[in-house]
Amino acid sequence: MELLTKLLSEILTLAVVILGGGFLWYWYLRSKNPHYIDESLYEKEEYEIIKKKLNDSLSKDSSNYELLCDLGFIYRITGDNESAIQCYEKALEINPANNVETMTELARAYAEKIETAAKANELFKKVRGDYADEQLFLEDYEAHYVEIMGWIHLQKGDSVKAFGYYEQIYPMWQEYLKKHEKKYHVSFAELHYHFGIYLKRKGDMEKARSEWEKAIKQPLKNIFAIKAEQELQK
C-alpha cells in the first residue's frame, strides 16, 4: 500500500511538472510571436501603441486576416470609422467564408453614417440568409442586428421604427449574457450611448443620462464612452 501511495504521488508530481512546463512553453511561444501584443496594453487602453504594433505587423504580413480584424476593431473604438471599414472589408476579401463576427463589426461601422447604413442592412441580410438553418447561432447575433437597425432608423429620423427596435434591446442582451455566462460585452459602451440618444429623442432625459453614465463606466473606454461623456456635459 505504501509503495502504491508513493507511486501515485510521483505520478501526480510528474503530471504537475508536465502541465506547468506546457503552460510556460505556451506563453513563451506566444510572447515570441512577432504579432503578439501584450494584453496589458488593452487593459491600459494604450490604443495608439497597439495601433502602431498592428500596422508594423501588417507591413510585413499584409494579408493576415486576424491582424486586419484586430486593427479594424482598434480603429473603430477610437473613432476612425473609415479606416475600420477598410480593414474589415479587406479581411473579408481575404477570408470571405463563415465570418459572421467580422461582418457584424463591419455592419456596426457602416451603421455609424447614414450614407453607408444601407450596406449594414445588406450585411445582416446576408448573415441571416447564410445561417438561416442555424437558429441557435443566429440568436447570438440578433441583439446586434436589432440594436443596429434601431440606430439606423433613429439617424433617418424614423422614430416609430427606431423605438420598435430599441424597446427589444435590453431583454435580448440580458438573454445573451445569461446564455454565455457573461457580465459584459465589448459593444456595451456603444449600446448605452445609442440607447441614451434614443431616450433623449423620446424626451426622457433622466433615463438618457443614466445610459450615458453606464457607457462611461464600461471596462473598455472607447469613442462611444467619450461621446456619452460629451452628452453629459451639455
The residue written with cell numbers 426622457 in the block is 204
Answer yes or no: is pLDDT of 90 > 90: yes
Lowest mean pLDDT among 27-31, 73-77, 201-205: 27-31
Query: Would 120 be classed as within a structural domain?
Result: no
Q: Given this model, what pLDDT does residue 37 score?
A: 60
Query: Would 145 be classed as within a structural domain?
Result: yes
Q: How many domains does the chain have?
A: 3
CB-CB contact of 204 with 226 (8 Å): no
Question: pLDDT tens across 110-158, in order?
Answer: 998 888 988 988 888 887 777 666 655 566 678 888 888 999 999 888 8
Q: Is the domain of 41 the same as that of 77?
A: yes
Share of the chain residues as helix, strand and coil, in percent rounded to the nearest 5: 80, 0, 20
Q: Is the domain of 229 the same as that of 148?
A: yes
Q: Is the domain of 154 the same as that of 208?
A: yes
Q: Is the domain of 72 the same as that of 90?
A: yes
CA distance 137 to 195: 25
Q: At 190, list the grid cell.
A: 456603444
Q: Residue 71: pLDDT band by 50, 70, 90 thresholds?
A: very high
User: Mean pLDDT, to the nearest integer, of 6-26?
Assistant: 42
Domain membership of residue 63 as a residue range: 35-114
Q: Is the domain of 28 the same as that of 61?
A: no
Query: Would 119 be classed as within a structural domain?
Result: no
CA distance 74 to 68: 10
> Any alpha helices (H) in 112-134, and if so which ranges?
117-130
**What proportion of the chain, given as a percentage, has pLDDT over 70?**
76
Q: At 196, list the grid cell.
A: 441614451
Among 114, 144, 177, residue at a domain's last position: 114
Question: pLDDT tens across 191-221, in order?
Answer: 899 999 999 998 999 999 999 999 999 887 7
Q: At 111, list the grid cell.
A: 451603421
Query: Would 179 be classed as within a structural domain?
Result: yes
For position 228, which CATH number holds? Answer: 1.25.40
